[in-house]
Copies of this chain bind each other. A is one copy, B any other.
Amino acid sequence: MVQLGPVPDLSGAIDKCAGCPIRHRAVCSYSSPAELQKLESAKFYRNYDAGQVIAAEGEVTRSLGSVVTGVVALNRTLEDGRRQMVGLMFASDFIGRPLRRTVPFEASAVTDVRMCLFHRSQFEQILGDSPSLERRLLELTLDELDAARDWMLLLGRKTARERLASFLMILTIRQANLDKMTAQSGQVLALPLTREAIAEYLGLTIETVSRQFTALRKDGVIDLPDRRSVRIADLARLQSAAGLDQGDEQFHALS
């Protein structure tokens, strides 16, 4: 089902940073042309199929880099198999920790994924004399920490309904921002995650996620045109179902 190990697909290794779709938001977005030159010669691309494991839990990783397209999930697992997602990375997000040998979680491709990668030692070397790279990495890490803290509130205190509504709100706002629009009722979301992945994100079971989808639909908050899309029928009610009324900071900080 799930294929292990990276596929050494080097197609597109000749791509230029200049035309890169994540050029203005990724870790390299503050880099000068000179720095970009160094990064450009060090980088390489790799593609992963949906479901593929990018890095196993505890594995010694030799490379790290940015998501160019697609969605990557980070998961932690208990011995008995209980799994909790601890990170969900979209285009321009940076995966892999400089200054650390291993990753304490599993990274897997949720959709087909294209990564822009560096060998760790090489990246750390460039990082060492590139303050702009380091500054951007610090910013990205702070953003992730904020997201993790919102997520902790969700996991620790919210009901199943609030969790699912929060998740849909996050996706809605994110997509609206990407489309340079404001979120609004009628908006249609393409869900990149399976029910199982959503359950892992929310700290619930698949069954509960499914029931809450049904409940939100019956309440007229959302429509479910098909299994992989959601139409936001009533954004205001979705937001209040998420346990956050307007004016809350969370949904402004999602870049």
Chain A interface (Cβ < 8 Å from any Cβ of B) = 58, 74, 76, 78-79, 82-84, 86-87, 97-100, 102, 104-105, 131, 134-135, 137-139, 141-142, 144-146, 148-153, 155-158, 202-203, 243-245, 249-250, 253
Contact = CB atoms under 8 A, between A and B. Distances in A.
A67 to B, nearest CB: 17
A146 B249 contact: no
Given A104-B253, A138-B137, A245-B79, A84 B148 contact: no
A102 B100 CA distance: 30
A146 to B, nearest CB: 6
B78 A157 contact: yes
Contact of A249 (B58, B78, B203, B249): B58
B141 A148 contact: no
A145 B146 contact: no
Given A131-B134, A134-B134, A203 B157 contact: yes
A147 to B, nearest CB: 9
16 contacts: A78-B157, A78-B158, A78-B243, A79-B243, A84-B152, A84-B153, A97-B142, A99-B139, A100-B142, A104-B253, A134-B134, A141-B141, A144-B145, A148-B149, A155-B203, A156-B202
A142 B99 contact: yes
A162 B105 CA distance: 19
A243 B82 CA distance: 10
A76 to B, nearest CB: 5
A185 to B, nearest CB: 22
A108 to B, nearest CB: 15
A157 B82 contact: yes
Nearest to A134: B134
B156 A84 contact: yes
A139 B58 CA distance: 19
